[in-house]
Amino acid sequence: MICFVATPIGNLKDITLRALETLRSADVIFCEDTRHTLKLLTAYDIKKPLRSCHKFNEREAAEKILAASREGKEVAVVSDAGMPVISDPGNLVCRFLREAGEPYTVLPGACAFVSALVLSAMPADRFTFIGFLPDKTGERRELLTRYKSNRDTLIFHAAPQDVERYIADMYAVFGERRACAVREITKLHEESRTFLLSAGLDGEKRGEYVLLVEGAGEENPLNALSPREHVKKYMDAGEDKKEALKHAAKDRGVPKSELYKETLDL
């Protein structure tokens, strides 16, 4: 049998009894980083053969997992933290096993973005998990644009060095919104901080982050107008051009400069 096993995201005590039983009975464990998984196994006095399964060798690992299972071996698949497949290697393995007709199961447990959603106190009745964003700015903003009108709470993973540029691009695409940054989940310095996208997140960035952004509100009917018509609506209502530009830019979630060039004749 092949088991995908959730492991702790910080505190090593956050592992289920069933997960420990499975790891102890496994003939081989496939993991993202053998050194990282060894620390978990050592903490529970478990000694098993470890094989790597990361994003650079996942296809090869999938073939080995299938072969081991068909030899009658008990196989466990884990990632460094949390649930395999979720922003971690494993999805290709699942597809490979499904196509091969090989059964597998999952042992639920810790998951960073679910814990972060609770810690954030943001709306949780509807949410959309997006995970890590692309490295290139253009691709990142293109992806964010797909979720601009989504009314669900949006959830992202971010490495510490990416947090500031992620937030800057979110503000550029979404406009002003409330957000929350959660880090060090289940650890000593667990932190959940709310902020506005326009203000960004101050302080030194350490540890892996989960960023949560409130969903889009009701669509402003003025946004259906052309930029020029939108600004003119506010000017006709008595605002000067500067205030009208500011108001329309906030409605549309874009910089004022983007509207200014469309309204030079006003």
Domains along the chain with CATH numbers:
2-107 (3.40.1010.10), 112-213 (3.30.950.10), 221-260 (no CATH)
Looking at residue 266, what is its pLDDT? 85
Secondary structure, 3-state, the chain? CEEEECECCCCCCCCCHHHHHHHHHCCEEEECCHHHHHHHHHHCCCCCCEEECCCCCHHHHHHHHHHHHHCCCCEEECCCCECCCCCCCCHHHHHHHHHHCCCCEEECCCCHHHHHHHHHCCCCCCEEEEECCCCCHHHHHHHHHHCCCCCCEEEEEECHHHHHHHHHHHHHHHCCCEEEEEECCCCCCCEEEEEECCCCCCCCCCCCEEEEECCCCCCCHHHHCCHHHHHHHHHHCCCCHHHHHHHHHHHHCCCHHHHHCCCCCC
Looking at residue 184, what is its pLDDT? 96
Segments of the chain scoring below 70 in pLDDT: 218-220
Model pLDDT for residues 181-239, shown as the tens digit of each residue: 999 999 999 999 999 999 999 999 999 999 999 998 766 677 778 888 888 878 888 88
Looking at residue 219, what is its pLDDT? 65
